[in-house]
Structure 1
Amino acid sequence: MNRSEREAAARRIMEQAPAPVPPDLYGEVVRRGNRALRRRRVVGRLLWLLLCAVAVAFTVWAVHAHPWVEPPSQTTPPITGW
């Protein structure tokens, strides 16, 4: 099938009468859309909650562990009695 035949076939399909739409389709689409929006909202809230929990846990760890302080040297013993 070459290009002109494909274009002619596409024109024939587009010129046909549209397929009938079931009458209850709109209600079903609205119901599914609302469900998808609720799921997206819940997932977003859970991700924000997880992010906040991680930030709090990191802050508590950093305050307790002091990762910015250099650990004391263990290679040389302290010099006493000089």
Structure 2
Amino acid sequence: MNRAEREAAVRRVMEETPPSVPPELYPEVMRRGGRMLRRRTAARRLLWLLLCAAAVAFFVWAMVARPWVEPPSETTPPLTGW
């Protein structure tokens, strides 16, 4: 099957009318779709909450540990009384 034949076959398939869906499936589809949306929304909110908690935890750690400050030197005693 060459390219022209494949394109013609695809056109025939796309021009056909889609099969009809039984009307009794509609309530089930709506129930499942609603559940999927609720789960996705809950997961998104949970991930945002975890991200915010991680940011707050990092900020608190940075304020307590102050990793940007050079630790005091412990090799020589401080010079006092000069």
TM range (shorter): 0.5 to 0.7
Percent of aligned pairs with the same residue?
A: 72
Structure 1 pair 53–7 and aligned structure 2 pair: CA distance change class (3 A)? closer
Q: Report the equivalent of 2:45.
A: 45
Number of residue pairs the alignment of both structures matches: 82
Partner residue of 1:64? 64
- Give the aligned partner of residue 29 of structure 1: 29
The Cα shift of 1:15 comes to: 6.2
Q: Secondary structure at the match of 1:74?
A: coil
RMSD across aligned C-alpha pairs, in angstroms?
A: 2.6
> TM-score by structure 2 length?
0.68
Query: How big is each residue's C-alpha offset from its partner over 1:8-50, in whole Å with a ceiling of 9 and x where there is no partner?
Result: 5556555666434222222222112111110111011101111
Q: Which runs of 5+ in 1 are unaligned?
A: none
Q: 1:68 to 1:23 in 2, by over 3 A?
A: same
- The gaps in structure 2 that reach 5 residues or longer are none
TM-score, normalised relative to structure 1: 0.68
